[in-house]
Structures are given as C-alpha cells and as structure tokens.
Amino acid sequence: MIHKILMRCGLLLVLGALASCESPSGFVGGSGHSQYGDRAGPKGFRTVLIDPGHGGKDSGARGRIRGMPEKAVALDIAKRVQSELSSSFDARLTRSSDHFIPLDGRVAIANKTRDSILVSIHLNDGPRRLAGAETYWWRTDSYSLAKRVDTSLRAVVKGSNNRGLVRRRLRLTRNPEIPGILVECGYVSNPREADLLSSASYRAKVAQAIAKGIRAQAAYGDAGMGTLPKPIYAPPSKATDARG
C-alpha cells in the first residue's frame, strides 16, 4: 500500500511539473530553439541579440537625417539598446561597425545563440506623410515581445500613421529559431521624424523604450498580454518572396 501511495505521489509531481511548463493558451514554453515558434513567449532569458539593419555596401534608406543613412542610425540606436541592457543581460550586436552581413548570415548568427531573443533595428521609408514606429513579428513566441516593445515605443515615437504591430513573414521574423522581432523606429522620409532622429537625445529615448519592452518580457513573459495568436506553419522566407 505504501509503495502504491509513493508511486501515485510521484506521478502527481511529474504531472504538476509538466503543467507548470504550459502557457494558458496551451503552448509549451522553453528557452531552446524552435523551427516554427509555436509555443509560449520567452521569460527569464539572459541573452539579447541586437541586429542593426543594413551596413557596409547596403546603406538602407537615406532619408533626411542630416546625411546619416539608415545603416548609421540603426547602428547608433542598437548600440544604445546594448548599453541600456548590458548591466542585466548578455547584450550582443550582430555588427558593431559599418560592415555588411547578409540576411541569411544574421539568421545563422541567431541560430547559434542560446537562451536568447533577436531584436532587429531599422528605420522606415515611404511617402512623406507617413510617420511612426512599426514592430514586425511572425512567430507565436514573439508576439508578446513585439507587443511590449511597441507599447513602449508609442510613448516616444508618436507618428499619427503608426501601424503598431504587423505580422509579416520576413527572413528575420520567420527564419531564426529563437523569438525575434524587427523594429522600424520611425520614417526617415518624414521631415519631422527625420529631424527628431537626427538628435542623439531622441535616439537615446527610442533605445530606452526598446530596452524597457525587452526587460518586461524577460520579467513577465506572456503575462498580461492576452491570448496568444495561433501559429502559422509557413515555410521559411526567401529572398525571392514577393514583398507585401
């Protein structure tokens, strides 16, 4: 009888441990890699991979930021995010200088890191009337991170055309095996926003907002973010994909 009781207690402990790993939406969390990201968002991660867009031969959008191309502004903001996080995280950059890394190369860097998230920093381009931040995501395990960063950015980047969260299958949102988002920090084609981005103090505020969202995700995971969206089992993004 005692043996049966002990076996039953052991089974209950195992079932309880499994239940503790499951999110309210039914997705199982974890800090390992996942091809589709069909799981709960990360919590308690220690590494943040910050990816400054473009670089080297790829200048990105030139806009109106006093001669600074997108690649330079993205690198400046990324370094500021790294500085904001360095006391609490292993904050790494995919590039720390003006050199070119192909998108697939950035994905490869992400896939070599463990217990981490990817945050890619960019600036937007378009008609002069457009302004504001946008945060791209694809994987279910990236939704809460995107939502937290977007919420923080809205307090700083106040463009009236802010589209907020955008679910889009890009090579930096779909292909990495870790949770990842791509943040468009404003429109370099908008005169007012370009003037703001020309200011180091404004770029510092943008970086602080991004870092705030990252810290909240590490501390709380998906808590308070509502029901997680369903995963979409689409193939990896390719350079030949139509833009849309």
Residue pLDDT, tens place only, 136-168: 999 999 999 999 999 999 999 986 666 789 999
How many separate domains does the chain show? Answer: 1
Helix (H, G, I), strand (E, B) or coil at 97: coil
Strand locations in 125-243 (E) = 134-137, 164-167, 180-187
Burial class (CB in 10 A: 0-12, 13-18, 19+), 129: exposed
3-class SS of residue 32: coil
pLDDT at 176: 97
pLDDT at 67: 75
- Region of residue 96 (left: phi > 0; alpha: psi -120 to 50; beta: else): alpha
Beta-bridge mates of residue 181: 119
Asked if residue 170 has pLDDT above 60, the reply is yes
Structural domain includes residue 61:
yes
Query: Is 165 contained in some domain?
Result: yes
CATH number at residue 212: 3.40.630.40
How do residues 100-126 score in pLDDT, each as one tens digit? 999 999 999 999 998 999 999 999 998
| Residue 225 included in any domain | no
- Whether 154 maps to a domain, the answer reads yes
Task: Please indicate, yes or no, if residue 211 is contained in any of the structural domains.
Answer: yes
**116 falls within a domain:** yes
Distance CA 230, CA 39 (A): 9
Q: What is the pLDDT of residues 183-225, one digit of tens each?
A: 999 999 999 999 999 999 999 999 999 999 999 999 999 999 9
DSSP of 198-210, one letter per residue? T-HHHHHHHHHHH
- Its domain, for residue 73, covers 47-220
CA distances (Å), 176 to each of 107, 170, 184, 191, 223, in order?
A: 5, 10, 18, 34, 24
Residue 107 within a domain: yes
Q: Which amino acid is at 151?
A: T
The answer as to whether 29 is a domain residue is: no
Cβ within 8 Å of residue 32, ≥6 positions away:
114
pLDDT of residue 243: 62
Which of 50, 209, 78, 225 is closest to 143 using CA atoms?
225
